[in-house]
Amino acid sequence: MNAPVDAIVRLTDLTLGYRRHPAVHHLSGGFREGSLTAVVGPNGAGKSTLLKAVVGALKPFDGKVTLHGLTARDIGYLPQQAEVERDFPIDVLDTVLLGHWRRVGIFRAIGRALTRQAEEALAAVGLAGFERRPIGALSAGQFQRVLFARLLVQDARLILLDEPFTAIDARTTADLLDVVRRWHGERRTVVAVLHDMEQVRAHFPDTLLLAREPVAWGRTDEALNPANLARARMMAEAWDDKAEVCRRSSS
Give the SS3 label for residue 5: coil
pLDDT on residue 250? 41
- Helices 140-154, 112-124: inter-axial angle, 10-degree rounding: 130
pTM of the predicted model as reported, rounded to 2 decimal places: 0.91
pLDDT on residue 198? 96
1-74+156-168+186-250 has which CATH code? 3.40.50.300
Q: Which amino acid is at 218?
A: G
Distance of CA 160 to the CA centre of its chain: 2
* C-alpha separations of 30 from 63, 84, 101, 207 in Å: 13, 28, 28, 11
Residues in the chain with pLDDT < 50?
249-251
pLDDT on residue 86? 79
d(CA 250, CA 188): 29
pLDDT on residue 107? 53
Tally Cβ neighbours within 10 Å of residue 53. 23
pLDDT on residue 109? 65
CATH 3.40.50.300 in the chain, residues? 1-74+156-168+186-250
Positive or negative, the CA dihedral 194, 200, 175, 93 is positive
pLDDT on residue 106? 59
pLDDT on residue 51? 98
pLDDT on residue 246? 59
Positive or negative, the CA dihedral 126, 86, 79, 105 is positive
